[in-house]
Amino acid sequence: MSIATYISPTFDCDQSSFVKFRVVVDVISQSSVDRTSYCRVRLQAWRTNTGYTTYGAGTGYVDADGSQQSQSIISSQTITYNSYTVLVDKYFYVQHGTDGRKLNCQFGGYFSISSPMSGGWDYFYVTLPDIPVASTITAPSGLIEGTTIISINRASSTFKHTLKYSFGSPAVEGTITSLTSATSVEFVIPTSFYAKIPDSKNGICTLTCETYDASNNLLGTKTTTFLANVNEAINEPTISITELIDINSVSVALTNDNSKILKGFSNLKSVLNITAKNSATLSYRKITCGLKSAEIFGATNPWTNTLLGVSDGVVTIIATDSRGITKTLTVNKTLINYIPLTANPNFERVSPTSSEVVVTYDGDYFNNTFGVGGVANTLTIAWSYRILNGVWAVGSVPLTDVKVGNRYSNGDDPISVGSIYPYSDFYEFKITISDKLTQIEVTDLVKKGIPPMAVKDDRVEFDVPIFIKNASGVLGSLVDLFYPIGSIIISEGNNNPQSRFVDTTWEVYGTGRVLVGYDVSQTEFNSGGKTGGAKVHTLTSNEMPIHTHTQDAHNHSQNAHQHNIDHDYDGAGGSSRYTVHNGAYVSGATTTSWVTASNIAATATNQNAGGGQAHNNLPPYIVVYYWKRTA
C-alpha cells in the first residue's frame, strides 16, 4: 500500500495521435533519518481507437526529480485499445529538504519503439507528503514550583532535542535541556512565573522542541503549550496577629484578662499584618466576631480595627489576594457568657380600698464570677415611690432576693412596702436592679382604690364582677347564670352580645331559618339543632287534591256506504226475484259484491292547565338576629 499516488495528465505520442501515455508515481515509503521518499514510477501507454495494435522493440525512460532510468521494450509488448500497457517500471529515492518538505517535484517519461513510434519527453510536478523530521512534544498542566513531564515523540532514535520554555509578557525564557536523547524530560516550573501572573491563578507556558540529527544538524522545530497553575495551598496570604484584645477597661477589670471576651461588653481591638505571596497583592480583608464585623479593600498594613460590644468567642479573619486566593484564620477566645439583667416587678394594693402595697419581682441575673480569676458578680435591689407626678422618695423597706441558677425573685411571699398609700390616689413605684456591669430601672403604677359597691340615691353600683350561687350551690357569674353556653338572644340589629358581656363568645345562629319548638312526638322536631323544611316546593302528584276533568261534547261520524242484494233465479218457470242469501247462490244468477260499513275511531283530548313551578312556602315574616353563646 502506497503513502500517496500521483497520475500525470495524458500525453500524446509524436507519431500517432491515437497512441497516448501517462506517468504514474506511487510514494511507497519515507525515511526521517535521511529525509527521502521511496517512489515507484511507471510509464503506461494505450490506444484510443479500436482494431489496431502497436508493438515493436524499443526503449522507455522515466524521470524522478532529474534522475532518469531506462527499460527495454520487447516486441511482444503490445499497445491496444483502452488497455494500459506498462512500458517502464522503475524505483527512485527522492531527497526532501531539511524541513522534510518536497515541493514541485518533477516526474516525466519518454519512449521509442521500432514501429517507428515515439513519445517526446513530457513532465508533471507534484508536492510529496512531508516527512516528519521535527519531533513533537506534549506536557500536562503543572503547578509552579512543581514539575511537569515533557514527552518527546521522535521520528528516529538517532535524533537529539533541545527543549526551551517561554512564559508571560514580556516573556521569561530559558532552556530546559540541550541535545538530549531522552524521550521524556522532567521540567521544574520556575518560581519566576509568579511575577508574570500577579492577578491570575494560571498562565499558558510555551514549550519549544528543536530536533537535531546525529551530526547535530537542526532538522526542525515544534512547539506546544501547557497550563502553569499557582499552587494555592502554599500561596495563601499570610495573616499575622499583632494584637487581639479587649480594650474595655470595665470588662477587663472584671475578667482580669484582656484576652477574654465578656459577652456584649468587650471591645475587641485587632492589629493585623496581612501579606500576599509571590507577586500577588491584597485585595480584601475582613474580621468577624459574632454579629460584629469590619472589612477593608486594599493592602494597607498594619490594619487596626475595634469591634464594639462583641458577643462571641470565635473570631474569624479572612484575607483575599489579587489572584482570588483566600486565607481564613479562626481564633477561639475565652467567652464569659454574661447574662443581661432583667426585672419584672408587680406592685399592687392588698385590696381595692387598702392603703397597703405589696411587691413581687423576678428576673435574670449573671450569678457567677467573670471567668477564672475574675471578680464575682453581685446583685443590688433598691426601690422608690411617689404620688403620681410627685417627687420620688427612697423606699425604706429592704428588698431581698432569692437566687436559683441565673434567676432571682422575692421568694414565695409578697413583700409589703408599707401602708402609707391612701387608696384615693395613684402611686408610682420604681425598682432599681444593679450588678457589677449594669443597672436597670422599671416603673410600675398602682391605681387608686375603688370600693366594690357604691350605694347611690337611685341605684347600687358594683365595680367588681358579681358571682351568685345557683340552685346547686355552684358559684357563677350573672352572665353564666342568665345566659349559659348555648343560650340564644334575639335582636333586631347586628349587635354582638360579646360587646356587653366580657369574656364570652357569640355567633350568628339560624341564618335564613325560623325557630320551631321542641316536640318529642314529632320526628322532625325531637332534637335540638335539627334542620329541615324548604323555602319553595313543587307539588308531587300524590300531594295534589282529588279532582275531575270535563270533556267537551263531540260526535262520531261514519263513512258513506250501501247494502247490495243478489238477484237470482229460483223459480222453475224462470221467474226471478231478489233474495238475501246466507249461503251460495244459484248458478247463472247476477251477483253484486258485499260491502261492509264501519265506524271511524275518534280520540278526545283534555287540555293542559298550570305551569308546574315550585310555589312560595314562606309565611309572613320579619327578619331578626339570633345570637348563640358558644363560650
Please give the average per-residue pLDDT across 88-101, as a whole number: 93
Instruction: Identify the pLDDT of residue 592.
Output: 47
**Residue 572 pLDDT grade (very low, low, confident, very high; cuts 50, 70, 90):** very low
pLDDT recorded at residue 591: 47
Does the structure show a pLDDT above 70 at 562? no
Whole-number percent of the chain with pLDDT over 70 = 89
Question: CA–CA distance from 381 to each of 358, 399, 420, 435 (Å)?
Answer: 15, 6, 21, 9
| Range with the poorest average pLDDT among 210-219, 445-454, 543-552 | 543-552
pLDDT interval class at 608 (50, 70, 90): confident
Q: Measure the CA–CA gap between 301 and 291, rounded to whole angstroms.
A: 25
The pLDDT value given to residue 115: 65
Q: What is the pLDDT of residue 51?
A: 83
In this prediction, residue 91 carries a pLDDT of: 98
With bands split at pLDDT 50, 70 and 90, how would you rate the model's confidence at 604? low
Query: 88-92, 99-103, 554-558 — which is least confidently predicted?
Result: 554-558
Q: At 119, is the pLDDT very low, low, confident or very high (cuts 50, 70, 90)?
A: low
pLDDT tens per residue across span 383-419 = 999 999 999 999 999 999 999 999 999 999 999 999 9
User: Cell triple for residue 392?
Assistant: 420620688
The predicted-structure confidence for 311-333, as pLDDT tens digits, reads as follows: 999 999 999 999 999 999 999 99
Please list, in sequence order, all residues whose beta carbon lies within 8 angstroms of the beta carbon of residue 376, skipping any fewer than 6 positions away. Answer: 368, 369, 370
Residue 263 pLDDT > 50, yes or no? yes
Q: How much is the pLDDT for 631?
A: 94
Question: Do residues 57 and 33 touch, judged by C-beta distance below 8 A?
Answer: no
Q: Can you tell me the mean pLDDT for 199-209?
A: 98
The whole-angstrom separation of Cα 285 and Cα 275 is 11
- pLDDT at 284 (0 to 100): 96
Residues 401 and 383 sit within 8 Å (Cβ to Cβ): no
The conformational region for residue 371 under phi > 0 = left, psi -120 to 50 = alpha, else beta, is: left
Residue 615 pLDDT: 85
Helix (H, G, I), strand (E, B) or coil at 108: strand
| Local structure of 196: helix, strand or coil | helix
CB 230 within 8 A of CB 323: yes
> Tell me, what's the pLDDT at 594?
46
- β-partners of residue 469 are 475
Q: From edge to edge, which strands make up the β-sheet containing 67-73? A: 67-73, 58-64, 102-113, 117-128
The pLDDT, as a whole number, for residue 571 is 45
Q: Across residues 591-606, what is the average pLDDT?
A: 54
Backbone φ and ψ of 252, nearest 5° = -65, -35
More confident residue, 557 or 40: 40
**Residue 300 binned pLDDT confidence (cut-offs 50, 70, 90):** confident
Rounded CA gap, 236 and 327, in Å? 5
The reported pLDDT for the residue numbered 598 is 55
Q: How confident is the model at residue 184 (pLDDT cuts 50, 70, 90)?
A: very high
Q: Using CA atoms, how far apart are residues 298 and 281, in angstroms rounded to an integer?
A: 8
* DSSP per position, 231-276: -GGG-SPEEEEEEEEE--HHHHHHHS-TTSEETTTEEEEEEEEEE-
Mean pLDDT, the chain, as a whole number?
Answer: 89
Question: Could you count the other beta carbons within 10 Å of the beta carbon of residue 564?
Answer: 10
Per the listing, cell 526521517 goes with 32
Query: In this model, does residue 554 exceed pLDDT 50?
Result: yes
User: What is the rounded CA–CA span in Å between residue 322 and residue 320?
Assistant: 7
Say if residues 25 and 115 touch (Cβ distance below 8 Å): no
Residue 28 has pLDDT above 70, yes or no: yes
Tell me which residue has cell 517519461.
Answer: 109
Q: What is the pLDDT of residue 564?
A: 54
26 touches 5 (CB < 8 A): yes
Give pLDDT, residue 585.
47
Q: How confident is the model at residue 579 (pLDDT cuts 50, 70, 90)?
A: low
Closest CA to 101 of 126, 131, 124: 131
User: What's residue 248's pLDDT?
Assistant: 98
Please give the grid coordinates belonging to residue 93. 529515492
Least confident of 14-18, 119-123, 458-462, 539-543: 458-462
How would residue 576 be classed by pLDDT, with cut points 50, 70 and 90? low
The amino acid present at 30, given as its one-letter code, is: Q
Per-residue pLDDT band at 469 (split at 50, 70, 90): confident
CA angle centred on 384, ends 382 and 387, rounded to 5°: 165
CA angle 82/86/91 to nearest 5° reads: 145
Which residues lie below 8 Å from residue 614, measured CB to CB, with a gap of 6+? 536, 537, 538
- Domains, the chain, in order of start with CATH, read 4-128 (2.60.40.1470), 136-233 (2.60.40.10), 235-336 (2.60.40.10), 344-446 (2.60.40), 471-517+621-630 (no CATH)
Within a 13 Å sphere around the CA of 276, how many CA atoms are in the beta-carbon half? Answer: 23
Residue 422 in this model has a pLDDT that exceeds 50: yes
SS3 480: helix
**pLDDT of 264 higher than 80:** yes
Whether pLDDT at 601 is above 70: no
Spatial separation of the C-alpha atoms in residues 77 and 115, rounded to whole Å: 12
Q: Is 100 exposed, middle or buried (0-12, 13-18, 19+ CB in 10 A)?
A: buried
Q: What torsion, rounded to 10 degrees, do the Cα atoms 481, 485, 486, 487 define?
A: 30
Residue 351 Cα distances to 422, 450, 477, angstroms: 12, 9, 21
Residue 372 grid coordinates: 477564672
Which percentage of the chain shows pLDDT scores above 90? 68
Strand 261-262 relative to strand 335-336: parallel, antiparallel, unpaired?
Answer: parallel
Q: What is the C-alpha separation between 350 and 413, in angstroms, rounded?
A: 13
- Whether residue 309 is predicted with pLDDT greater than 90 in this model: the reply is yes
The C-alpha cell at 390 is: 410627685
Q: Inform me whether the pLDDT recorded for 425 exceeds 50.
A: yes
Letter for the amino acid at 246?
A: D
pLDDT at 225: 98
Judge if pTM exceeds 0.85: no
Q: How confident is the model at residue 479 (pLDDT cuts 50, 70, 90)?
A: confident
CA-based end-to-end distance of the chain: 106
Between the alpha carbon of residue 257 and those of residues 288, 312, 481, the distances in Å are 21, 16, 69
